[in-house]
């Protein structure tokens, strides 16, 4: 059976190369009896692929059951999967067959396999390797012939490294890995899926057809769809039921998109990116450039005061730079050996005080401004703490860093 026939049989919409590759892998692995690990984000359609593998396998006439491992309490999952004997635990009033016994000869789909407890993982590994299991509370070895298809929406190898998933079970399940692409990687399929869903729901609820204008189509395609096909289907159903205007605009469509995810073109979040240090560096560079600009303005202002006895007309406009200088800049303490400004008034009894001439003697040694990042950082932290009277939380907000980072900087700089 080719890919198009599989799509028609199982109601799969889309022409993405990634989707076609996943269908091709499922088609190739279906006639075998090997275990398959399906990975993909929540809502991407992992269970559909488990049905494809089962229905196109020699076990298609046998039973099929889907089990969500994350939805079964840890204390009862062994009983659910492998069964129990009467009196095996409190409340076990009779014997019970587990899924591996009832689905013998068929296929069991273990969804959210990464949520399975470690003890149950050891039992599952024995089933995969030898087809044997033991009921809870029994000592008799049972046999089963079940094909296992597992699925997860997390990185199982990360769980292995964290000690939450058995490494031997991971390699036993991952005989054939099958990755389902997220909807954001299938942009060419988004509008096709939306039209299919809206058509189905308008027929179901007997409402007029739904149409999107050009802007709304762009919003639909460019959105990241964190809930994948499930989220798109739910939104199509809401539009089919709630909207009276059957031509949907971009503004209307945005009201059905979660506010925090409304910016669809933002890049994906990288897990191990050192965001905090990068942010601190950017903030520090910005502060240094601002300080350099302000110091230039301050030098001009001081020179103008010395030469003219006041602020010239060019500085009377209360520009933001000058206002900021008066409000925010704390002038450093100047050592007498570093800069001296001497105002000398010649003694002349014949000249009135109103017309007195002042000779200005500049005896100054220019000192190069320190560009040490550590000193600037230390100075900024001191100023923030002083401004907020030692309250680290407020100071951290002022500096644009976390309180934990501020505490670490205080320790490192010995403030």
Percent of the chain with pLDDT over 90: 54
How many angstroms separate the first and last alpha carbons of the chain?
A: 72
Q: Which residues fall within 8 angstroms of residue 289, CB to CB, at 6 or more apart?
A: none
- Give the pLDDT confidence of 362-404 residue by residue, as tens digits: 444 555 555 566 677 788 888 888 888 888 888 888 777 887 7
Q: Does residue 126 sit in the same domain as residue 237?
A: no
In this structure, is residue 141 part of a structural domain? yes
* Helix, strand, coil in percent for the chain, rounding step 5: 50, 10, 40
CATH number at residue 196: 1.10.8.60
Name which residue leads in pLDDT, 305 or 141: 141
Percent of the chain with pLDDT over 70: 77
CATH number at residue 24: 3.40.50.300
In this structure, is residue 354 part of a structural domain? no
In this structure, is residue 159 part of a structural domain? yes
Residue-level pLDDT at 370: 56
**CA–CA separation, 77 and 81 (whole Å):** 6
**CA–CA separation, 92 and 87 (whole Å):** 5
Residue-level pLDDT at 407: 76
Q: Does residue 177 sit in the same domain as residue 197?
A: no
In this structure, is residue 269 part of a structural domain? no
Given a cut of 50, is residue 273 above it in pLDDT? no
Residue-level pLDDT at 382: 84
Q: Does residue 32 sit in the same domain as residue 94?
A: yes
Q: Which residues fall within 8 angstroms of residue 124, CB to CB, at 6 or more apart?
A: 81, 110, 116, 148, 169
* Distance of alpha carbon 169 from the chain centroid: 28
In this structure, is residue 202 part of a structural domain? yes
Given a cut of 90, is residue 39 above it in pLDDT? yes
pLDDT class of 294 with cuts at 50, 70, 90: confident
Residue-level pLDDT at 331: 45
| The most confident of 7-16, 283-292, 294-303, 311-320, by mean pLDDT | 7-16
Tokens of 91: 């409340």
Mean pLDDT value of segment 139-168? 93
Burial 128-155 (b: 16+ CB within 10 A, else e): beeeebbbbbbeeebebebbbbbbbbbe
Mean pLDDT value of segment 104-121? 95
Q: Does residue 25 sit in the same domain as residue 172?
A: yes
Residue-level pLDDT at 221: 93
pLDDT class of 299 with cuts at 50, 70, 90: confident
Given a cut of 90, is residue 100 above it in pLDDT? yes
For residue 223, the 8-state DSSP code is S
In this structure, is residue 118 part of a structural domain? yes
Partners of 197 in the beta sheet?
A: none
Burial 263-278 (b: 16+ CB within 10 A, else e): ebeeeeeeeeeeeeee
**Which range (22-26, 190-194, 336-340) has the least confidence?**
336-340
Structural domains of the chain, count: 3
Residue-level pLDDT at 393: 82
Given a cut of 80, is residue 284 above it in pLDDT? no
Q: Which of 280, 286, 35 has its CA nearest to residue 175?
A: 35
Given a cut of 50, is residue 99 above it in pLDDT? yes
Structural domain of residue 246, as residue ranges? 185-261
Q: Does residue 119 sit in the same domain as residue 216?
A: no
């Amino acid at each position: 059976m080719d890919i198009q026939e599989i799509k028609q049989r199982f109601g799969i919409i889309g022409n993405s190369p990634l989707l076609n590759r996943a269908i091709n892998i499922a088609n190739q692995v279906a006639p075998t009896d090997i275990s398959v690990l399906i990975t993909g984000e929540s809502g991407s359609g992992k269970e559909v692929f488990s049905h494809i593998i089962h229905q196109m396998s020699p076990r298609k006439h046998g039973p099929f059951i889907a089990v969500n491992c994350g939805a079964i309490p840890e204390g009862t999952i062994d009983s659910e999967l492998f069964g129990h004997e009467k009196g095996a635990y409190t409340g076990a009033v009779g014997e019970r067959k587990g899924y591996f016994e009832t689905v013998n000869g068929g296929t069991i789909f273990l969804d959210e396999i990464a949520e399975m407890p470690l003890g149950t993982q050891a039992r599952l590994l024995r089933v995969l390797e030898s087809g044997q299991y033991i009921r809870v509370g029994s000592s008799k070895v049972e046999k089963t012939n079940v094909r296992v298809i597992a699925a997860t929406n997390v990185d199982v190898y990360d769980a292995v490294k964290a000690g939450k998933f058995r490494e031997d079970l991971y390699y036993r399940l991952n005989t054939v890995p099958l990755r389902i692409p997220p909807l954001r990687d299938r942009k060419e399929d988004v509008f096709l899926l939306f039209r299919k869903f809206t058509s189905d729901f308008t027929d179901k609820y007997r409402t007029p057809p739904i149409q999107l204008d050009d802007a709304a189509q762009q919003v639909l395609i460019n959105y990241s769809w964190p809930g994948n096909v499930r989220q798109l289907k739910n939104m199509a159903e809401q539009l089919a039921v709630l909207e009276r205007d059957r031509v949907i605009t971009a503004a209307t469509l945005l009201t059905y998109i979660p506010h925090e995810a409304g910016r669809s073109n933002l890049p994906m979040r990288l897990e191990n990116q050192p965001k905090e240090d990068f942010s601190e560096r950017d903030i520090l560079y910005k502060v240094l450039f601002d300080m350099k600009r302000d110091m230039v303005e301050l030098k001009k202002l001081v020179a103008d005061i010395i030469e003219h006895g006041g602020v010239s007309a060019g500085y009377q406009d209360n520009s933001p730079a000058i206002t900021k200088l008066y409000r925010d800049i704390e002038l450093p303490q100047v050592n007498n050996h570093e800069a001296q400004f001497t105002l000398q008034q010649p003694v002349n009894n014949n000249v009135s005080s109103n017309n007195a001439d002042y000779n200005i003697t500049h005896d100054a040694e220019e000192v190069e401004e320190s560009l040490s990042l550590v000193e600037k950082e230390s100075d900024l932290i001191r100023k923030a703490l002083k401004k907020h009277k030692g309250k680290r939380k407020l100071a951290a907000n002022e500096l644009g860093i976390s309180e934990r980072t501020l505490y670490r900087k205080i320790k490192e700089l010995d403030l």
